[in-house]
Structure 1
Amino acid sequence: MAKKKIVLAYSGGLDTSVLLSWIKETYDADVIAFCANIGQDDELKGLDKKAKSTGAAGLYIDDLQDEFAKDFIYPMLQAGAIYEGEYFLGTSIARPLIAKRMVEIARKEGAYAIAHGATGKGNDQVRFELTTAALAPELEIIAPWRDERFRTQFPGRAEMIAYCEEKKIPVQASAKKPFSMDRNLLHISYEAGILEDPWFDAGDLKYRDYFNVLSVFPEDAPDKPQMVTLDFEKGNCVGVNGKALSPLAVMRQLNKLGGKHGVGRVDMVENRFVGMKSRGVYETPGGAILQFAHRQLESLTMDREVMHIRDGLIPKYAELVYNGFWYAPERLAIQALVTESQKNVTGSVRVKLYKGGIHAAGRKSPHSLYNPHIATMEADPTKAYNQDDATGFIRLNGLRLRVNSQVNGAANLGE
């Protein structure tokens, strides 16, 4: 009889190399390794040979960058989603795409389970498994870091390195990095290790070799600002500096421009879904520019009440993405409202990049709701706004306040 099959999220590093071999032995199954290319660049080199020599029955390396930009990053940017006011959700938004593709491969290969190397303390385990629950509830989940057998055999990195030497698994047995990194098209994150001390200054210039993969430190950015123009159609950026670009090309171009000027750098303590606080350092140059420019255009084109309703949903939307509910009905419902809100968000925004900052330098749109004749402090030639009308407007809005004061006494202003 043919062996059962398991699809493993695989990167070729120490952890997933050990996982591949351990799962194959422990479950007596064929392991199909899968690696998604979502913008890691040279991290994918040599994976085919490494996976096969480690015992993989098959390997998929799929370039998902176009889909990632178009169907995941862009809809999230339309929603203006930022978790806890700072985090651009770079890792969070990648996980549902990776898990979706794992489900597709599992069905194609006839696998009964998918496996991942996320720890029992993190958010990724939740994101992978909630996506699988939504798309393929029949699939089983294998999470070795939550398996006591695995944790007993590998209490630390030294045991993993020794295991690879014994099994002749080709991994680089080096000292552990002073932090953990995760990179994709939207960002790069740094966590754990030396960053577990929230007083540690990751922006100290002596750490230039650690935290500047996608962007320079602001102190090292050019002394001359740079103007960048972004063109939008229905809330999506479709061009940079007058050149039409695909979502993927937009991300690459803005990462380059933003990285040059040190924008999009975040150092925060966030609340994980599993209950603990975690400190993370992030580089999101292109995403930061898009978020800022998109908001500038919305301020010009979006109806006030529509904007306020959408804005009221941003914390919930960001929380859903962060916690792994991308395919949940509530996220899809909010996305439908977001899509409707973006139908007139078309036009151009000019921003100035300088020493880590993004500054508005102009916005225009054929759907602009800004009327200079109405907004002017001078005489309104169109007579669209009668200042005398404000008297009744204020009187009616103050009616309930006056009645409340008459019945219950004037508001207490304190001392």
Structure 2
Amino acid sequence: MTTAVIAFSGGLDTSFLVPYSREAYGVKRVITCTVNTGGFSPEEAEKIAARSREVGADKHLFVDGSQSYYDEIIQYMIFGNCTRDGYPLCVSSERPVIAKYALDACREEKADMFINGSTGAGNDQYRFDVATQVLGQGKVVGKSPIREFDITRAFSADYLRKHNISVTEKGTTYSYNVGLWGISIGGGETHKSDGLIPEEAWYSHPDPKATEGVLDITFEKGNPVSVNFEEQTTTGAVAIIRRITEIGNKFCIGRNYYLSTTSPGKKGRIAFESPAADILYEAHSRLEAIVMTQSQISGKRAIAEKFGEMLHEAKMYDPYMDDMKALMVSSQRRVTGTARVYLAQGMIKATTVTSPYDLLGVKGAVYGETSTAYTGADAAGSTLIHGFEQRLYYSLEKDKSRSMFIGIQGS
């Protein structure tokens, strides 16, 4: 008997997969598995479970993967302030967590098939297929019916209606991926480079009364350990991210669009909401700026760029990921202190920081003033040595009228 586990969000695509997998693959027992990466409330979890029953699943599993998501992935993205061309990896970063727990469910339920809602156009197909290959080790077959049979959202909606399963109009136009680190919105106007989704298509909506606000975020060795807003303190990394998301949504922080080249070579574009990532990256990077040396900052930036690239492009099981994590952990040993973030509607106005490792306030290091650590003559000698090699090179230049940049011909 064929048993399949379906990665299930309750949206149009994954709802379609339940009845269609029986028809397409002859699946006898269908188990839906929802991995909560932090984006679903208890009420939403119950709605998803009800949806699973409505579409005819034999069993529904709900797994809380939010702490694992933070421990294995998000904390390292905070350490590195990781983005992919400005996009904080809201969706791509959570896929390994969803795949891990869904494949765990395959083993526990003795399922021989893992089904996901990936298309053939984007990067998710790589993330789920690679996870199935690495973690499944040939014992589980991965299937993506939407990719395999070129299924459109219109076809999925019609198919469900013909099977007397309800379909919401909003669900036919846009697809939503909701997680702890943010939300992505695909479909509709995002398919055009100049398209903007309407206000009602955004997942969250700002509070018009939220005009100004201040929150204090405390970090210990790079990890957020508390956030205080309006005299209310929240602790615990996952709870902190949820609280900052709630605050950021009120101020309309984190709305943006992302356009990139996908692994198959196609251009892809989405809208996304990332209030927690935007605020935490701002606070964390400002704290790093006063406690780390410039070599640490620039060196880690290069590592973080590679980390984000490999995570986004389905290379999350490469051992180099662990190597990069180790370096980023080491880089955070002095990233302890508090960042005060000032918010206004639609923007982060400013950020100030305090830390016991503050290099800006060290005696003798006040910027723009004389130093007690060295004399003016010491400074002059330092600049002479700094420019000495360039001076030697330029001394052999025949044409002194050339551009100030030696290798560029003047006009």
Which TM bucket (shorter chain)?
A: 0.7 to 0.9
Partner residue, 1:24: 22
Relative to the length of structure 2, the TM-score reads 0.88
Give the secondary structure class of the aligned counterpart of 2:387.
helix
Q: Secondary structure at the match of 1:239?
A: strand
Q: Does 1:348 align with 2:338?
A: yes
Letter in 2 for 1:61: F
Q: Name the structure 1 match of 2:403.
A: none
Task: Decide which of 10, 15, 22 is 2:8's aligned counterpart.
Answer: 10
Q: Which residue of 1 aligns with 2:59?
A: 58
Letter of the 1:191 partner, please give it. Answer: G
RMSD between aligned residues? 2.4
1:81 aligned residue: 82
Instruction: Identify the residue that residue 375 of structure 2 maps to in structure 1.
Output: 386
Measure how far apart 1:176 and its partner are.
Answer: 5.5
Residues 296 and 360 in structure 1, CA contact (< 8 A), matched pair in contact too? no
- CA distance in 2 between counterparts of 1:375 and 1:390 reads 15
1:210 and 2:201 matched = yes
Contact 1:349–1:364, Cα closer than 8 Å, also in 2: yes
Name the % identity: 27
Matches within 5 A, 1:162-177: 162-168=158-164, 170-172=165-167, 174=169, 177=172
1:160 aligns with 2:152: no
Deviates more, 1:386-395 or 1:305-314: 386-395
Matched with 2:221 is 234
After superposition, the C-alpha distances for 1:279-324 in whole angstroms (9 at most, x for unaligned) are 2221111111000000011011112211110012232222112212
CA contact (8 A) 1:127 1:323 kept: yes
Determine whether 1:120 maps to 2:115. no
Aligned residues of 1:20 and 1:55 also touching (Cα < 8 A): yes
Distance 1:263 1:167, change over 3 A: closer
Q: Does 1:275 align with 2:265?
A: yes
Distance across 1 between alignment mates of 2:187 and 2:309: 22
Tell me how far 1:185 sits from its aligned partner.
1.9
Superposition map of 1:323-334 within 5 A: 323-334=313-324
Maintained 8 Å contact 1:113/1:140: yes
Q: Distance in 1 between matches of 2:53 and 2:313?
A: 34
Report the 3-state secondary structure (helix = DSSP H, G, I; strand = E; otherwise coil) of the residue aligned with 2:94: helix
Shift of 1:53: 5.1
Secondary structure at the counterpart of residue 90 of structure 1: coil
> Against the structure 1 CA distance between its residues 140 and 389, is the aligned structure 2 distance closer, same or farther, given a 3 Å change threshold?
farther
What is aligned with 1:357? 347
Q: 1:114 to 1:366 in 2, by over 3 A?
A: same
- How many residue pairs get matched? 396
Secondary structure of 1:100's counterpart equals helix
* 1:243 counterpart (217, 233, 236): 233
Q: Determine the C-alpha separation between the residues in 2 that align with 1:258 and 1:324.
A: 29
Paired with 2:64 and 2:167, the residues of 1 have a C-alpha distance of 25
State the alpha-carbon separation in 1 of the partners of residues 385 and 277 from structure 2. 44
Offset of residue 135 of structure 1: 2.5
| Structure 2 alignment gaps of length 5 or more | 401-405
SS of the equivalent of 1:93 reads coil
Query: Per-residue deviation at 1:244?
Result: 5.0
4+ residue segments displaced more than 6 Å:
none
Q: TM-score normalized by structure 1?
A: 0.87
Unaligned residue ranges in structure 1 (runs of 5+): none
Report the Cα distance in structure 2 between the residues aligned to 1:379 and 1:175, rounded to whole angstroms: 63
